[in-house]
């Protein structure tokens, strides 16, 4: 079996369709929704773990792209700049996997990379811009 984490971006018009369900029905792929955020006015985002044969996986990703879904692969890691982090907690509100949490009673933000699905929601939410991407391939921090 082949398993990968995908980050899917849905334009508002596509988000209203049951596109992901067809991964199971037509491509014999199992999916686990790790996180999702949708709005009627903005692009929606969904983080999926997709499991199946490599060939069905390729066919399923091709199908998603044909439907207008932008597909990103979790080939990157989230990185936190400890010096910039103000421990405000904004990131914990949007983290779908619990990778970012509040340590009590200290009220410090704890980042567990093992739980991170690389959905990137913390990056756009962080007011101090302490969260960023680290590209495994380029080995550099991306703004």
CATH classification of the domain holding 25: 3.30.70.260
Mean of pLDDT values over 41-64: 90
**49 and 83 share a domain?**
no
pLDDT of 128 reads 94
Q: Counting Cβ atoms within 10 Å, is residue 137 exposed (0-12), middle (13-18) or buried (19+)?
A: exposed
pLDDT of 137 reads 43
Structure tokens at 105: 């009673």
**11 and 49 share a domain?**
yes
Residue 138 has pLDDT above 80, yes or no: no
Percent of the chain at pLDDT exceeding 90: 46
| 69 and 9 Cβ atoms separated by less than 8 Å | yes
* pLDDT tens figures, 62-104: 999 999 999 987 667 788 999 999 999 999 999 988 899 999 9
Mean of pLDDT values over 126-138: 76
Give the count of beta carbons closer than 10 Å to the beta carbon of residue 45.
22
pLDDT of 74 reads 67
**138 and 82 share a domain?**
yes
Q: Which of 20, 53, 73 is the last residue of a domain?
A: 73
Residue 125 has pLDDT above 90, yes or no: yes
* pLDDT tens figures, 1-31: 777 888 888 888 887 788 999 999 999 999 9
pLDDT of 38 reads 81
Q: Domain tally for the chain? A: 2
Comparing CA positions, the residue from 53, 68, 61, 75 lying closest to residue 23 is 61
Comparing CA positions, the residue from 25, 45, 34, 27 lying closest to residue 4 is 34
**60 and 122 share a domain?**
no
Residue 75 sits at φ, ψ, to 5 deg, of: -95, 10
């Amino acid at each position: 079996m082949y398993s990968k984490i995908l980050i899917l971006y849905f334009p508002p018009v596509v988000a209203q369709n049951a596109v992901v369900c067809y991964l199971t029905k037509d491509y014999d792929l199992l999916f686990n929704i790790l996180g999702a955020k949708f709005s009627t006015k903005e692009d929606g985002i969904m983080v999926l773990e997709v499991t199946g044969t490599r060939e069905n996986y390729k066919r399923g990703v091709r199908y998603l792209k044909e439907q207008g879904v932008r597909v990103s692969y979790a080939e990157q890691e989230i990185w936190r700049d400890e010096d910039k982090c103000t421990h405000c907690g904004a990131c914990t509100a949007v983290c779908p996997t619990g990778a970012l949490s509040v340590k009590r009673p200290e009220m410090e933000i704890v980042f567990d990379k093992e739980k991170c699905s690389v959905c990137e929601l913390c990056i756009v939410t962080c007011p101090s811009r302490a969260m960023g991407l680290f590209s495994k391939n380029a080995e550099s921090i991306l703004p």
